[in-house]
Amino acid sequence: MSKMKKNKILENIKLFAAGAKGVAIGRTEEGKTVLVTGAVPGDSVNVRVRKSKSKYIEGEAVEILEYSADRVEPKCEHFGVCGGCKWQNLSYEKQLYFKQDEVLNNIRRIGGVDDFELVPILGSEEQYYYRNKMEFSFSNARWLTPEEVSSQQDINDKNALGFHIPGMWSKVLDLKNCYLQEDPSNELRIAVRSFAEKHGMAFYDLKNQDGFLRTLMMRQNSKGEWMVVFQLFREEEENRKKLFDFILSKFPQIKTLVYAINPKGNDSVYDLEIKTYYGDGFLMEEMDGLKFKVGAKSFFQTNYKQALELYRKTLEFADLKGNEVVYDLYTGTGTIAQYVARNAKQVIGIESVQEAIDAATEHAKLNGLANCTFYCGDMKEVFTEEFLARHPKADVLITDPPRDGMHPKVVEQILKLSPEKIVYVSCNSATQARDIALMKDDYKLVKILPVDMFPQTHHIENIALLIKK
């Protein structure tokens, strides 16, 4: 079948499965795969072609002819615009089904492995209000609805505090209500927006890079204590104090309030100086007796309850007896390393971000874990034969890499290290499967467990246990 022209309409495509990044999958009459956005498995749709390749077509649903039996009414008024929660129109039961199916397909197709145990997917007890961290952007040029654009009227209210529109970074959705973080998240965001407008504070101009208020981040811990983090494009001391004092008086849940001045071209907080306006500048979090200090720059799992389940299952897969040396690659702030340390003889963690290593070392001392040692550096450069020669041999290796998976040199070193057991935690089962394929001559994949950390989205974590042959 030859390539199709862009914008051609394919009629009556029945969607039967979900693919990577949440697209729905159908086929043409000739049997060519069609990857469709804007619909869910079970729908029958007309599709506008956006891209045509030799093996597949990418397109968007322009008309739904028949609705899937698995559809549900989206809860959020912003569904389909803000870019988040793309599966909010699909029943949670089917979300879990398709997430598990994606993991299985990747392990079998990319990993080339069929003989393993599937532990049924671990769903999230909470499908909404599960995030403990949200970040919102200020803008003086909010996204306008199609109705507003077509009205040709002058729009005076152009300020926004919300999310960037996918594919239109300069446009920000003025968020009315979000179901991802519990109250007072919505109340606080709306109060900040209202107070700032009332007092004439300038919302950030993304195109001209000017203004006062840039981003607002809110974090909470499991005790119901909150951290508020502002990024300001420039210092306006009087406005800053006025706004900060207002929200502190209105929201007693705020345990600490910090801010940073950011005149850069991006919103990254990691190279900024964080200034504490109120409180300690951090929150304390606890997980099964372990304490962690969480600050403005800290990486900490955003779904606390599911993260706890993920760590418990990782420890269960490792099946430690107390006398093992454990290597924890891509250790981050050492959360998994410390979670398993109480059941191990020694834990060695490696991570590329120095601030994360500093936090991991601090947390180990805070938790009285003298058997944890952490090293900083690029994984492929630190995790070398010289490193292995200076440290005890690993009995168990835990790895939790970023979405890109492990560098081939890291896989090569793992095979040389030859631990008896590998527990591979991944947020991308495709790259996980690729890495498993590189190790399958030496290691048997025993079992996998998908864990849903992000309901209403297509994202899925997976834990895999590999045993040395």
Give 169: exposed, middle or buried? Use CB within 10 Å, 0-12, 13-18, 19+: exposed
> Given strand 160-165, what is the order of strands in its sheet?
168-174, 160-165, 133-139, 213-220, 226-232, 254-261, 275-278
Does 128 carry a binding-site annotation? no
> Read out DSSP for 73-92?
--S-TTTTTSSS-TTTTB-H
DSSP 54: S
Find the angle CA(450)-CA(380)-CA(430) to the nearest 5 degrees. Answer: 25
Three-state secondary structure call for residue 173: strand
Rg (CA), the chain: 24
Contacts of 139 (CB under 8 A, 6+ apart): 159, 160, 161, 170, 171, 172, 203, 204, 205, 206
Between CA 138 and CA 404 the distance in angstroms is 31
Does 301 carry a binding-site annotation? yes
- Helices 237-250 and 185-198: crossing angle in degrees, nearest 10, is 140
Residue with tokens 């058997």: 371
> What are the distances in angstroms from CA 458 to CA 45, 88, 175?
20, 10, 22
Active-site residue, from 76, 85, 178, 427? 427
Phi, psi of 347 (to 5 degrees): -125, 130
Q: Please say if 427 is a catalytic residue.
A: yes
Phi, psi of 320 (to 5 degrees): -75, 145
DSSP 25: E
Between CA 171 and CA 317 the distance in angstroms is 45
**The two three-digit tokens of residue 422, written as one number:** 């590998």
Does 330 carry a binding-site annotation? yes
Three-state secondary structure call for residue 259: strand
SS3 per-residue string spanning 349-400: EEECCHHHHHHHHHHHHHCCCCCEEEEECCHHHHCCHHHHHHCCCCCEEEEC
Does 319 carry a binding-site annotation? no
Phi, psi of 233 (to 5 degrees): -70, -35
- Catalogue the long-range contacts made by 410-415 (C-beta closer than 8 Å, 24 or more residues apart): 410/329, 410/379, 410/380, 410/383, 411/435, 411/438, 411/439, 413/383, 413/384, 413/385, 413/388, 414/439, 415/439, 415/442
Q: Active-site residues: which are they? A: 427
Tell me the binding residues for S-adenosyl-L-methionine: 301, 330, 351, 400
